[in-house]
Structure 1
Amino acid sequence: MPDLKPITALGGGTARRLHHGALELEENTEQALASLALRRGATQPASFGIDLPGPGAWAQSVEIAAFWTGPDQWMVEGQNRAGSDFASAVGALCPDCSVTEQTDGFAVFEIRSSAGERPILQLMAKLVNIDPIRFPPGCATRTGLEHMSVFVIRRAAHHIAILGMRSAAGSIWHALEEHIRRIEDRKP
């Protein structure tokens, strides 16, 4: 049996990071994901310590976060749980729901600003078709990033996350890096 080593969505042995000016871009390799859908006639589960959010919203507790993806559907996030059977854990908490493992299907990129909200607003204005002023912390939506479909989550005033298909991870990283460099290089 060959000695197999896991690699990140970007093909490395460790998460890729970029720090340019006030913005930091990081590949989040520890984020577990599971899709959750209510079955017909089921009631919304409340076992996460959060109310599952409505359209355009994201909510978090100490261990779990979730964002709305469609009627009676959510993506559930578990930080530092990528190596576990996250979908089974979510399924055990939500027996009246259909749960599907999504961790290896997506790449997650975190973008933080050390200079407050302004660099994040500038980046969002250039990066995606979302009005950043009308997208405060706690919002999440699916939108286009160049030629790719991604989820954008506003985790905090100075922090956004981009989730895209793992097969497009290199293209997403390239687009994010280019936009970050342009914004930071234009500052006086």
Structure 2
Amino acid sequence: MTDLTPLCALGAPEPRRTARGALSLTENPDLALASLALRAGGAQPAPFGLTLPGPGAFNASGEVLALWTGPGQWMLAAERSPDADFAAELRAQAPGCSITEQTGGWCCVEIASATGAAPLDRLLEKLVNLPPAALCPGRAARTGLHHLSVFVIRRSTDRLAVLGMSSAAGSLWHALDAAALRLESFA
């Protein structure tokens, strides 16, 4: 039997990392994802003790995060091993809802700033067509980034996460890294 080695979305056995001035970019392969949708007439659950957020927001409790993706729909994320069955965990927490495993379909790039909010704000200005208030800390939005549809989650003033399609992980990384490099050049 062939010995198979798991790879991250960017094609290497280890997550990609880079630093560009005050910004650091890190591929996060340990983010499990599952979508939750209410069924007709179903009550809104509180999986993992979370109140499911409304448009433009996310809620987090411990290692689990929920963000709104549409009316009656949310994406939940948790720091888990890639082998974990997060969808099964969520299904147990939200009976009567439609749950779909999403982990393999998405890649996550975590971006941190060593000097506070300003570098992240400048990066977002270059990448997304949203007003700054739409991505202040505690907010999340689905938006276009270059030719990709992504979720941007502003975890705090100095941290954000970008979720994009796994099949376009290389394009997403290139767009983020190139923008961070341009900012570093003009700093």
TM-score range, shorter chain: over 0.9
Matched, 1:112 2:112: yes
1:108-187 aligned within 5 A: 108-187=108-187
| Alignment RMSD (CA, Å) | 0.9
Aligned equivalent of 1:101:
101
* Structure 2 unaligned spans of 5+: none
* Structure 1 position 163, deviation (Å): 0.4
* Structure 1 position 95, deviation (Å): 0.7
Name the amino acid aligned to 1:90.
L
Query: What is the DSSP-based 3-state SS (H/G/I as helix, E as strand, rest coil) of the residue aligned with 1:154?
Result: strand
Q: Is the 8 A contact 1:35 1:99 kept in 2?
A: yes
* Structure 1 position 68, deviation (Å): 0.2
Once the two structures are superposed, residues 4-59 of structure 1 have per-residue CA deviations (whole angstroms, 9 ceiling, x without a partner) of 11001000000000111100000000000000001111111113222100011111
Once the two structures are superposed, residues 65-109 of structure 1 have per-residue CA deviations (whole angstroms, 9 ceiling, x without a partner) of 010000000000011343200101100111110000000000000
1:12-161 aligned within 5 A: 12-161=12-161
Name the amino acid aligned to 2:111.
I
TM-score normalised according to structure 2 size? 0.97
Identity %: 52
Query: What is the DSSP-based 3-state SS (H/G/I as helix, E as strand, rest coil) of the residue aligned with 2:173?
Result: helix
Aligned equivalent of 1:4:
4
Q: Is the 8 A contact 1:23 1:113 kept in 2?
A: yes
Q: Number of aligned pairs?
A: 187
TM-score normalised according to structure 1 size? 0.97
Q: Is the 8 A contact 1:121 1:133 kept in 2?
A: no
